[in-house]
């Protein structure tokens, strides 16, 4: 008897996922010259394409050249050459018969921009990221004007259209983890008193406008998904009831799927450092909330967060969730879906970073995952036992070089771009 894990999933766009296992988005931080995909990303995605996942979702691709989560971010805007993205899509589809669907995650960081980055730091309001003594790591945001909001909605649509032109099968709009669209959804961050603030309907307006614009810019057969926090895990923040209502708002707009995650830089539940009793389990951090949301969701749900074993993945599907998303597990064992198919498990695991400083632990944990992806991108095997201090320091050193390159590229592109990047 075939496990439901390996059964196909038809989506409303007509796209059919070959199985229920997805490589969830992880920020690779591997942009080459010009903030473009290069050979490292192609090698990495060929590894995943050969591993048996039914869906590969890229790390977040930036829609605005002046607003990056980090200097190694890939940018796909109207000025980016398309050929590197064509090659990226081809690499991700190189798995042969029954190959994965490939979706590009598209994102704007909003206020979650490092203080040493050039460009803009925007948010729904001028409320900065509160990380206690680490708060200075982030720039101070300015509240977006209506014109900037509308221009940003257009940027998401442009990136989605160009992703389809490059050969991707869909996009995932990132509205979780405290990035811009998540910031608009959060009453803790969004203090606006105009049409984008106050009620949940107003706070969701920008996300809904983005999904409408994206859906209108791409073919009906192109998938459009949304990544949404099941909760922010902050008192007074976006919660599971808000998530339930937003999922209902997305259904009539033609969304195919909603991926549930949780947390933000201020409360990094997505890295296994939960700030809420719901997420104490080491695996499937957000399963309790997902079970609640799946009962009323009109859209298929995907759950991501800490899943490493087939038994846990099957438990997630048994709850009514349609797709199991994995990040870290596939950075360590890229062929894990094929292993599960032959009733084998991963022989290596990466324990979470259990430091008392949650912000630093989250940063170190993400650096360690990116280190594994870097090894896969060089054709090597993962080293999950590597010390998080080493990977954190190593990444900081690499980031300095990436920042110099990004500054030079941005300065040059500002001089030659035919559009006003500050719009």
Summarised one tens digit per residue, pLDDT across range 28-39 is 999 999 999 999
The secondary element (H helix, E strand) that includes residue 123 is: strand 122-123
pLDDT band of 289, cuts 50, 70, 90: confident
Q: Is residue 139 part of a domain?
A: yes
Residues 53, 258: Cα–Cα separation, whole Å: 18
How many Å is the maximal CA-CA distance in the chain?
61
More confident residue, 2 or 300: 300
The pLDDT of residue 358: 81
Q: Is residue 421 part of a domain?
A: no
Query: Would you say residue 2 has pLDDT above 50?
Result: no
Question: Can you give the residue range of the structural domain that contains 247?
Answer: 4-416
Q: Which residues pair with 260 in a beta bridge?
A: 228, 303
Record the tokens describing residue 380, joined without a space.
């090597």
pLDDT band of 264, cuts 50, 70, 90: low
The pLDDT of residue 418: 42
Residues 48, 348: Cα–Cα separation, whole Å: 17
Q: Which distant-in-sequence residues (6+ apart) come within 8 Å of 418 by Cβ?
A: 79
The secondary element (H helix, E strand) that includes residue 57 is: strand 55-57
Q: Is residue 299 part of a domain?
A: yes
The pLDDT of residue 14: 97
Q: Is residue 422 part of a domain?
A: no
The number of folded domains in the chain is 1
Residues 126, 396: Cα–Cα separation, whole Å: 27
Q: Is residue 357 part of a domain?
A: yes
Q: What is the mean pLDDT of the chain?
A: 90
Q: Is residue 271 part of a domain?
A: yes
The pLDDT of residue 171: 98
Q: Considering only CA atoms, which of 422, 393, 370 is closest in space to residue 40?
A: 370
Q: Is residue 423 part of a domain?
A: no
Q: What is the CATH number of the domain that holds 301?
A: 3.20.20.70
pLDDT band of 213, cuts 50, 70, 90: very high
Query: Would you say residue 263 has pLDDT above 70?
Result: no
Q: Which distant-in-sequence residues (6+ apart) come within 8 Å of 401 by Cβ?
A: none
Residues 180, 174: Cα–Cα separation, whole Å: 9
Q: Is residue 25 part of a domain?
A: yes
Stretch among 214-228, 259-273, 360-374, 377-391 having the lowest mean pLDDT: 259-273
> Do you know the residue count of the chain?
423
Record the tokens describing residue 196, joined without a space.
């984008």
List of E strands, 202-349: 223-229, 257-261, 301-304, 323-326
């Amino acid at each position: 008897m075939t496990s439901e894990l390996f059964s196909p999933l038809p989506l409303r766009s007509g796209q059919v996922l070959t199985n229920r296992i997805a490589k969830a988005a992880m920020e690779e931080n591997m942009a080459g010259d010009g903030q473009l995909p290069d050979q490292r990303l192609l090698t990495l995605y060929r590894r995943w394409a050969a591993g048996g996942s039914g869906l590969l979702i890229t790390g977040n691709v930036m829609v605005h050249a002046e607003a990056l989560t980090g200097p190694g971010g890939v940018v796909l805007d109207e000025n980016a050459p398309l050929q590197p993205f064509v090659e990226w899509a081809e690499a991700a589809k190189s798995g042969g018969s029954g190959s994965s669907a490939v979706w590009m995650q598209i994102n704007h960081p909003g206020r979650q921009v490092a203080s040493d980055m050039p460009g803009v730091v925007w948010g729904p309001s001028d409320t900065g990221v509160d990380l206690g003594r680490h708060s200075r790591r982030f720039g101070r945001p300015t509240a977006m004007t209506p014109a900037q909001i509308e221009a940003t909605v257009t940027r998401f649509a442009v990136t989605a259209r160009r992703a389809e032109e490059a050969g991707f099968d869909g996009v995932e709009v990132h509205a979780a983890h405290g990035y811009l669209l998540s910031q608009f959804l959060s009453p803790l961050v969004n203090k606006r008193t105009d049409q984008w603030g106050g009620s949940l309907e107003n706070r969701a307006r920008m996300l809904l406008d983005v999904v409408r614009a994206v859906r209108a810019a791409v073919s009906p057969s192109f998938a459009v998904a949304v990544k949404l926090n099941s909760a922010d895990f902050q008192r007074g923040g976006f919660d599971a009831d808000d998530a339930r209502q937003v999922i209902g708002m997305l259904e009539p707009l033609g969304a195919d799927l909603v991926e549930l995650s949780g947390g933000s830089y201020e409360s990094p539940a997505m890295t296994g450092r939960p700030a809420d009793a719901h997420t104490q389990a080491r695996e499937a951090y957000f399963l309790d909330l997902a079970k609640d949301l799946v009962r009323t969701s009109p859209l298929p749900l995907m759950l991501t967060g800490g899943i490493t074993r087939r038994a846990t993945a099957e438990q997630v599907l048994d709850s009514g969730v349609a797709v199991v998303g994995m990040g870290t597990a596939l950075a360590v064992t890229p062929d894990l879906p094929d292993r599960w198919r032959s009733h084998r498990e991963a022989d290596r695991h990466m324990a979470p970073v259990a430091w008392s400083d949650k912000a630093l632990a989250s940063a170190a944990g993400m650096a360690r995952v990116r280190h594994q992806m870097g090894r896969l991108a060089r054709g090597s095997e993962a080293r999950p036992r590597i010390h998080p201090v080493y990977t954190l320091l190593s990444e900081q050193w690499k980031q300095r070089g990436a920042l110099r390159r990004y500054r030079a590229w941005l300065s040059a592109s500002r001089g030659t771009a035919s559009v006003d990047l500050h719009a």
